[in-house]
């Protein structure tokens, strides 16, 4: 956004336009009687009054008046000023007094000196007020103006400082009331609202309450969105108009939108809560990172004090330069985020919430955090709270390893298991070859529910499960500078809750971000805390029992077997050495067929990449989330 005078925002510093003044002859009455003051005392009175933006009470010569001065000073009346008297030089019936002015304009100091002329009339000193007493070189025909100048909002940057959010062109659609007769304005407003798909009654009310020459904005769109959302007949509505403008925007409408947030004109609530830092018309962050880091990103407006006579070129008396906002760095990789959003859009129905999170295990950098359109603007990727299902068996596997089992030890995998009156089974197409006594590795590869419930309830207790989760980055709060949920692994409440916890159900919750951290921790061999903002130091507690090298090797081998010889075979054709875990978790109420809907999950690692895919309602992790993950990993290179 260029640093130009902004007519939309004039007046926030004092006046909406240059206040007119033509200093003409008028009569100023001298005091009725001599109060005995000398020239210096009158100069002090003058300085004190000028500090209050007035000449009221100051003895003036003829042809000068408080009213004329009030017109001249009006654009600056809201600005703080201190006026001090310097040297006073009396020479007979005339005197001069130096006035030292110090204004605070847009947070910057404007300091200068002028000279006030005084004359003695019938024994009393009067001020011979002239425009040049206010500012040097002001002429009687001059008018003053105070204009706001805008700085540039800080950009949001991605990996390698690639620009993500920068000023991009938008079109503001609405009603220009100057283009339609008053009697037809309400009808035009109704037609505009219907054509743009916004609520009719509030827009009509806003039109009726706005000024006679107002442009009543209805919708702000990117040019590419306007081609889709603005009907061809919009321009035929009387008064319908569009205005080209710019706003800080990401490359596309959906690009990391729930995380980055929106930018727009300050609402009344934002203005009220800002303690004067934000004025009506200011462009501010309204959600996401744009809101959280608005103070850093927001520019500080400058100002320009100008003077001009009728037909004259405008002269700048003072300019307070605006201050640009500071950029905000993120770790998002534009290509990776774009790919994540594409595979979700192609693989998930538009009305089903979904997410894909990709981390770099070596440093925790969040390369992509995509939330599908079914989330209606909610950051499913980073804030979702869902049962992680069988992806949580990676955590249970670690807890079992710590209990003394090895990955090659045998566990029982029966078709069903009764726990305190509740029957747990495996998924409907569980392979018959995976039943019976199997290794822990095979139980994870085939995702045997009964094996993990049986071994877990027998060998684990207390905080064992929560400690294992914490070692993999799950269930431990972390302040990372952006809205996030790292999961909950509460102590079991009874036998059935304990059994359900072993397979990532019951009261165990996770976000896609948290499950990506689990995969990343296995890959890195230590707990990985996701990092989206490189300059924000994460605040979190270290796990009481960190991941060890033998545990890491065992988990990597077990997750690799899931791909080569288990439920994650959908990733077998992906280049590179891929480890994974599928997950399905029941939730909600039974459908017409009596079956509960299920979340579909899959997590994976490959090289320095860890990924979690989540679909709120899907058939299973392998059949719903698996193809999405396969496409992402294959296309990511």
Q: Any idea what the CATH number is for the domain that residue 279 is in? A: 3.90.1310
pLDDT at 36: 64
- pLDDT above 50 for 100: yes
Residues 500 and 630 reside in one and the same domain? yes
Helix (H) / strand (E) element for 495: namely helix 495-502
- The torsion angle over the Cα atoms of residues 464, 465, 468 and 469, rounded to 10 degrees, is -150
Whether 383 and 399 share a structural domain: yes
The reply to whether 608 falls in a domain is: no
DSSP state of 545: S
- pLDDT of amino acid 49: 96
Same domain flag for 177 and 268? yes
Q: What is the pLDDT at residue 428?
A: 85
Beta-strand ranges (E) seen in 300-400 are 302-308, 315-320, 328-329, 354-360, 365-371
CA atoms within 13 A on the CB side of 602: 31
Tell whether the model's pLDDT for residue 594 goes beyond 90. no
Q: How confident is the model at residue 143 (pLDDT cuts 50, 70, 90)?
A: very high
pLDDT at 53 over 50: yes
- For the cut 70, the answer to whether the pLDDT of residue 164 exceeds it is yes
Instruction: Please tell me what DSSP assigns to residue 558.
Output: H
Q: Which domain holds residue 144?
A: 7-148
Cα–Cα dist 309/143, whole Å: 6
**Do the domain assignments include residue 373?**
no
* Dihedral angle of Cα 544, 546, 550, 556, to the nearest 10 degrees: 130
Q: How far is CA 176 from the centre of its chain?
A: 31
Domain co-membership, 521 together with 428: yes
Tell me the mean pLDDT in the region 102-109: 94
Among the listed residues 388, 327, 284, 29, the one whose alpha carbon sits nearest the alpha carbon of residue 165:
327
Of 80, 113, 148, which residue sits at a domain end? 148
Here the tokens at position 607 are: 């090289």
Look at 18-22, 267-271, 414-418, 516-520 and tell me which has the smallest mean pLDDT: 18-22
Whether residue 129 is found in the same domain as residue 173: no
Distance from C-alpha of 131 to C-alpha of 367, rounded to nearest angstrom: 61
Question: What is the total count of domains within the chain?
Answer: 3
Question: Which of 100, 127, 148 is where one domain is finished?
Answer: 148
Tell me how far apart the alpha carbons of residues 573 and 59 are, in angstroms, rounded to a whole number: 94
Residue 28: predicted pLDDT: 42
* Confidence tier at 16 by pLDDT (50, 70, 90): very low
CATH code of the domain covering residue 528: 3.40.710.10
Categorize the per-residue pLDDT at 63 as very low, low, confident or very high, splitting at 50, 70 and 90: confident
Give residue 255's pLDDT.
95
Q: SS3 of 404, please? A: coil
Q: Which segments of 503-621 does DSSP mark as H helices, in order?
A: 512-524, 549-565
Place of tokens 């706001």: 148
Output the pLDDT for position 269.
83
H/E element, 82: strand 80-91
Return the sign of the alpha-carbon dihedral for residues 13, 15, 17, 18.
negative
Q: Which helix (H) or strand (E) holds 479?
A: strand 478-479
**Distance (Å, whole) CA 170 – CA 221:** 5
**Position 302 confidence tier, pLDDT thresholds 50, 70, 90:** very high
pLDDT of residue 127 exceeding 60, the answer is yes
- Give, in order, the Cα–Cα distances in Å from 82 to each of 52, 65, 75, 162, 558: 9, 21, 17, 46, 76
- With a CB cutoff of 8 Å and minimum separation 6, the contacts of 264 are 220, 247, 283, 284, 286
Beta bridge partners of 157: 163, 329
- Of the pLDDT bands very low, low, confident and very high (cuts 50, 70, 90), residue 19 is very low
Q: What is the CA radius of gyration of the chain?
A: 35
Residue 46 sits in the same domain as residue 170: no
Beta bridge partners of 304: 147, 319
Assess if residue 596 is contained within a domain: no
H helical segments located in 197-352: 200-209, 223-229, 257-260, 268-273, 288-292, 294-297, 334-347
Contacts of 151 (CB under 8 A, 6+ apart): 3, 299, 300, 301, 302, 322, 323, 324, 325
pLDDT score for 275 = 79
Q: Say whether both 448 and 348 belong to one domain.
A: yes
Give the per-residue pLDDT at 605: 98
Please check whether residue 605 lies inside any domain of the structure: no
Q: What is the mean pLDDT of residues 588-608?
A: 92
CA–CA separation, 612 and 608 (whole Å): 14
Task: Specify the pLDDT at position 64.
Answer: 75
Query: Is the pLDDT at 20 greater than 60, yes or no?
Result: no
Q: How far apart are alpha carbons 3 and 330 in whole angstroms?
A: 26
Give the pLDDT confidence score for residue 369 in this predicted structure: 98
With contact defined as beta carbons under 8 Å apart, do 170 and 218 qualify? no
69: left (phi over 0), alpha (psi -120 to 50) or beta: alpha
Residues 319 and 357 in one domain: no
* 32, pLDDT greater than 60: no
Share of the chain above pLDDT 70, in %: 94
Q: Please, what is the average pLDDT of the chain?
A: 91
Residue 597 is assigned to a structural domain of this protein: no
Question: Quick check: is 2 in a domain?
Answer: no
What pLDDT score was predicted for residue 18? 33
Taking the C-alpha atoms of residue 427 and residue 40, their distance in angstroms, rounded to an integer, is 97
Contact (CB, 8 A) for 579 and 559: yes
Do 107 and 246 belong together in one domain? Answer: no
Residue 24 is predicted with a pLDDT of 31
Six token digits for residue 289: 């990172």
- Residues 590, 596: contact at Cβ < 8 Å? yes
pLDDT of residue 67: 87
Residues 412 and 505 in one domain: yes
Tell me, yes or no, whether 369 lies in a domain: no
Q: Which residue has the tokens 């006073």?
A: 88
Please list the residues that pair with 355 across neighbouring strands.
371, 614
Confidence of residue 27 (pLDDT cuts 50, 70, 90): very low
Are both 125 and 187 inside the same structural domain? no
Residues 165 and 263: their CA atoms lie apart, in Å, by 10
Beta strands 315-320 and 422-425 are: unpaired
Closest CA to 424 of 461, 459, 456: 456
Q: What residue ranges in 328-419 does DSSP mark as E strands?
A: 328-329, 354-360, 365-371, 410-413, 416-419
Mean pLDDT of 542-563: 96
Burial degree of 108 (CB within 10 A; 0-12, 13-18, 19+): middle
Nearest one of 600, 388, 367, 579 to 475, comparing CA atoms: 388
In a domain, 603, yes or no: no
Widest distance between CA atoms in the chain: 120
> Do 220 and 295 sit in the same domain of this protein?
yes
DSSP string, 594-621: SPPPEEEEEEEEESS-EEEEEESS-S-I
Q: What is the CATH number of the domain that holds 78?
A: 3.10.450
Q: Is 424 in contact with 449 (CB distance < 8 Å)?
A: yes
DSSP-derived letter for residue 430 is -
Please indicate, yes or no, whether the overall pTM of this predicted structure exceeds 0.85: no
User: Which stretch, 58-67, 96-105, 260-269, has highest mean pLDDT?
Assistant: 96-105
Identify the weakest region by mean pLDDT among 18-27, 55-64, 157-166, 317-326: 18-27
Q: What is the pLDDT of residues 71-85, one digit of tens each?
A: 999 999 999 999 999
Tokens 């959003």 appear where? 341
Residue 17 has pLDDT above 80, yes or no: no
- Of 120, 148, 176, the position where a domain reaches its end is 148
């Amino acid at each position: 956004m260029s640093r130009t005078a902004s007519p939309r925002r004039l007046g926030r510093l004092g006046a909406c336009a240059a206040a007119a003044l033509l200093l003409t002859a008028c009569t100023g009455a001298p005091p009725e009687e001599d109060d005995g003051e000398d020239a210096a005392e009158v100069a002090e009175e003058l300085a004190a009054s000028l500090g209050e933006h007035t000449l009221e009470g100051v003895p003036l010569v003829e042809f000068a008046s408080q009213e004329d001065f009030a017109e001249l000073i009006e654009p600056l009346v809201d600005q703080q000023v201190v006026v001090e008297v310097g040297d006073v030089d009396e020479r007979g019936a005339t005197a001069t007094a130096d006035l030292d002015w110090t204004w605070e304009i847009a947070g910057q100091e404007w300091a200068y000196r002028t000279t006030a002329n005084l004359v003695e009339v019938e024994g009393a000193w009067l001020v011979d007020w002239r425009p040049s007493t206010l500012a040097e070189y002001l002429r009687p025909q001059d008018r003053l103006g105070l204009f706001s100048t805008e700085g540039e909002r800080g950009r949001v940057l991605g990996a390698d400082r690639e620009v993500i959010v920068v000023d991009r062109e938008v079109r503001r659609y609405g009603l220009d009331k100057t283009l339609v007769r008053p009697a037809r304005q309400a009808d035009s407003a109704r037609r505009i609202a219907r054509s743009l798909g916004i609520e009719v009654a509030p827009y009509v009310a806003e039109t009726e309450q706005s000024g006679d020459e107002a442009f009543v904005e209805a919708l702000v769109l990117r040019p590419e969105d306007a081609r889709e959302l603005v009907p061809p007949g919009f321009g035929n509505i009387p008064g319908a108009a569009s205005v080209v403008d710019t706003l800080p925007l990401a490359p596309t409408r959906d690009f990391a939108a729930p995380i980055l947030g929106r930018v727009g004109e300050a609402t009344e609530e934002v203005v009220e809560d800002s303690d004067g830092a934000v004025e009506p018309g200011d462009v501010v962050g309204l959600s996401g990172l744009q809101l959280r880091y608005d103070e850093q990103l927001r520019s500080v407006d400058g100002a320009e004090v100008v003077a001009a006579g009728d037909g004259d070129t405008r002269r700048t008396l003072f300019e307070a330069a605006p201050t640009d906002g500071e950029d905000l760095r993120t770790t998002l990789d534009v290509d990776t985020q774009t790919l994540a959003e594409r595979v979700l859009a192609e693989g998930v129905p538009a009305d089903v919430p979904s997410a894909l999170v990709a981390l770099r295990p070596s440093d925790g950098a969040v390369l992509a955090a995509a939330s599908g359109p079914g989330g209606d603007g909610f950051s499913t990727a980073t804030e979702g709270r869902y049962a992680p299902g069988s992806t949580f068996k990676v955590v249970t596997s670690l807890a079992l390893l710590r209990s003394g089992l090895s990955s090659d030890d045998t566990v029982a995998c029966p078709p069903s298991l009764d726990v305190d009156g509740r029957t747990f089974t495996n998924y409907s197409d569980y392979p018959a070859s995976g039943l019976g006594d199997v290794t822990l590795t095979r139980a994870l590869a085939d995702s045997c529910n009964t094996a993990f419930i049986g071994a877990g309830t027998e060998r684990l207790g207390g905080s064992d499960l929560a400690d294992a989760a914490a070692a993999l980055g799950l269930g431990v709060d972390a302040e990372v500078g952006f809205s996030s949920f790292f999961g909950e692994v509460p102590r079991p409440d009874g036998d059935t809750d304990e059994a359900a916890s072993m397979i990532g159900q019951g009261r165990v919750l996770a976000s896609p971000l948290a499950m990506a951290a689990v995969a990343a921790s296995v890959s890195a061999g230590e707990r990985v805390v996701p990092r989206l903002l490189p300059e924000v130091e994460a605040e979190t507690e270290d796990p009481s029992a960190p991941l060890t090298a033998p545990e890491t090797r065992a988990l990597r081998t077990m997750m690799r077997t899931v791909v080569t010889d288990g439920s994650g075979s959908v990733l077998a054709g992906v280049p590179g050495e891929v480890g994974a875990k599928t997950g399905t978790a029941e939730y909600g109420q039974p459908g017409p067929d009596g079956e509960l809907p299920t979340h579909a999950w899959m997590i994976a690692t490959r090289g320095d990449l860890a990924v979690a895919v989540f679909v709120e309602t899907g058939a299973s992790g392998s059949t719903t989330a698996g193809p999405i993950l396969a496409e992402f990993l294959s296309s990511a290179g």
